[in-house]
Structure 1
Amino acid sequence: MKKSIWVGTRGSRLAIAQTEIALAALRRAHPGVRFEVVTISTKGDVDKRPLFTMDEKGIFEKEVNEAVKKGEADFAVHSLKDIPSDLSEELVVACIPKRASPNDVLVNDKGQKLKELAPGSVIGTSSLRRAVQLTKYRPDLNVMPIRGNVETRVKKVISGEYGAVVLAEAGLTRIGMKDVIVERFSIRDFVPAPGQGAIAIVCRRDDKALIRMLGQIEDSRSRAEVLAERALIKKVEGGCRFPLGAVAVTNGDKITLYASVFSADGSRNIKVKKVGKASEPEKLGDKVAGMLVKQGAMEMAEGWRRAVDEWNRKL
């Protein structure tokens, strides 16, 4: 293994924090290796439109992974949920370190939980999945699109532009802002995005030595969970324009997968829970996907296309 390794990542505070988490583990395992971080701007960093208006995949990872493919970086560190299920065949998710909390949380500066917010309060989210779940529980709130990095969204609450925002707990914790969390939502009641809380390390598929090195900080339970979730979204074709909540939880040799899909108006909710073998996570993901499809999940897609158009008119 060479003595200096180049690591590609986005330049956001969260991306850098996630990269440092991965590198801290790698440095402990390989104290003689020097890691050099190179930051790369992505379309998702530059384009400030709400995420669900961008009808394309990989807006936060494509440019970084291209640098890996070209040899400009040896590996890349990503939020797993940013990686499309159809990753380039030249690349592989070589390592999933130990996953952080997958939960969503509520942030506001008045200490109010979701049920305590005043009717008409403006709640910001970049996620259709979060938006429809918020509307289900509090139809009297005004759920609006929000963009910007994690700290920018929090500042928009403090400034009074938004009454509250919903964010991923893992992101806030990783950048040292967990003190702004007012409420932590249950994964059963407020189902997270597939892969939320997990970090993925991507490298070239033909770099066997690097794959072995990265594998030394792999967490097998986290890998099993995200494999189940990603097998599900690959079959159901979830994405920013078709919100799907899914989270897997391992317990010994068993793994439980929870999945949830809403109609665009929130009136219909398909929920599935199924237990499988932790050694066969992708088989479980396929089964749950089939159950969702059989119950009409794909028929909801047209309603979501209309909903996206309506949200676009708000911008």
Structure 2
Amino acid sequence: MREIVIGTRDSALALWQARWVEQELKKHWPEYSFRVVDIKTKGDKILDVALAKIGDKGLFTKELEVKILDREIDLAVHSMKDVPTMLPEGLIIGAMCRREDPGDVLVSHKGYRLADLPPGAKVGTSSLRRRAQLLRYRPDFQLYDIRGNLNTRLAKMEKEDFDGIILAAAGVKRLGWTEKITDYLSYDVCLPAVGQGSIGIECRGDDLEVLKIIRVINDQDAFDGITAERAFLRKLEGGCQIPIGALGEMEQERMTLHGLVASLDGSTILRDKITGLRSEADQLGRTLADRLIDAGAEKILADVREALE
């Protein structure tokens, strides 16, 4: 019986995702054995520095990718929002799993909803994308960087008396903490990160056996929508830690792709959408990016990169 080795980060959420993938694959492929191994990534080792200050080239993926290429593992399970748009030669995203709620949520131990947060509310977030959009919504917010796994962030919220923290809905739900959510942020307030809510499976492009195995848990809606989002991000030359948001929404064979580029302080936000055939996902992403570039996105992103250097 061939063993398929599944690599993952060692956070609680990453391990949950990898074990979910393992269980789903076992259902479909009883003739294989599967084993999960956890690997600490650069992004997991450096917790006292804001993500945007570290750089975003494979912060949560590089160590896993090296082990795929070295054939120490057969595939890696990622949160798609952490996966750079350019992969190392020889590797591909072979499957994207059904998307959980792609949006952001407020968790407040004080019970606040977003609209009820007091003037000058202390809010924690590790994301420049969320920061920019929150400041656009409420310039009075005091925003603080908050890193680490969900347990760490929840503990810090209470210890430092934040009024709330902003998290990805998918992670909170997957860990069984839905009851901790005090508000769901509308896409009008906060457009999600590229790929947010979906689990991606990376493998060697020439490993036809593994590609066949993982294809059974690919979700075509997630795959097409996120393909468009990633094309949008790639054309803008943005990284995972740049204030860019996107969401591809499906309606049968058509897709509406929403995209956003923001300045760090939220004072300037460019936002647009495009509708077309899902079979043209990559082109839709590039076309929407071109529209925002024509509207001034390159200047905004250049200013962001300069500020982060």
- The TM-score by the shorter chain falls in which range? over 0.9
Give 1:29's aligned residue.
28
Cα deviation, residue 306, structure 1: 5.1
Give 1:230's aligned residue.
230
Contact 2:7 2:36 in 1 (8 A): yes
Give 1:198's aligned residue.
198
Amino acid at match of 1:271: R
Query: Which segment is superposed worse, 209-218 or 191-200?
Result: 209-218
Give 2:175's aligned residue.
175
Moved over 3 A (4+): 305-309
Cα deviation, residue 178, structure 1: 1.5
Contact 2:131 2:264 in 1 (8 A): no
Give 1:68's aligned residue.
68
Cα deviation, residue 208, structure 1: 0.7
Contact 2:112 2:163 in 1 (8 A): no
Amino acid at match of 1:134: L
TM-score of the aligned structures, taking structure 1 as reference length:
0.94
Give 1:19's aligned residue.
18
TM-score of the aligned structures, taking structure 2 as reference length:
0.96
Contact 1:241 1:305 in 2 (8 A): no
Amino acid at match of 1:108: S
Cα deviation, residue 95, structure 1: 0.8
Q: Percent identity?
A: 39
Contact 1:9 1:16 in 2 (8 A): yes
* Residues matched between the structures, number: 308
- Mark the runs of 5 or more structure 1 residues left unpaired by the alignment: 310-315
Cα deviation, residue 229, structure 1: 0.3
Q: What is the alpha-carbon distance in structure 1 between the residues aligned to residue 304 and residue 222 of structure 2?
A: 31
Cα deviation, residue 191, structure 1: 0.3
Q: What is the alpha-carbon distance in structure 2 between the residues aligned to residue 272 and residue 137 of structure 1?
A: 18
Q: What is the alpha-carbon distance in structure 2 between the residues aligned to residue 270 and residue 91 of structure 1?
A: 33
Give 1:10's aligned residue.
9
Q: What is the alpha-carbon distance in structure 2 between the residues aligned to residue 36 and residue 217 of structure 1?
A: 17
CA RMSD of aligned residues (A): 1.4
Q: What is the alpha-carbon distance in structure 2 between the residues aligned to residue 69 and residue 36 of structure 1?
A: 18
Contact 2:134 2:189 in 1 (8 A): no
Q: What is the alpha-carbon distance in structure 1 between the residues aligned to residue 55 and residue 66 of structure 2?
A: 20
Contact 1:128 1:240 in 2 (8 A): no
Give 1:313's aligned residue.
none
Cα deviation, residue 187, structure 1: 2.0
Aligned to 1:230, the other structure's residue is in SS state helix
Cα deviation, residue 3, structure 1: 2.5
Cα deviation, residue 242, structure 1: 2.6
1:37-76 alignment runs, 5 A limit:
37-48=36-47, 49-76=49-76
Q: What is the alpha-carbon distance in structure 2 between the residues aligned to residue 56 and residue 115 of structure 1?
A: 32
Aligned to 2:93, the other structure's residue is in SS state strand
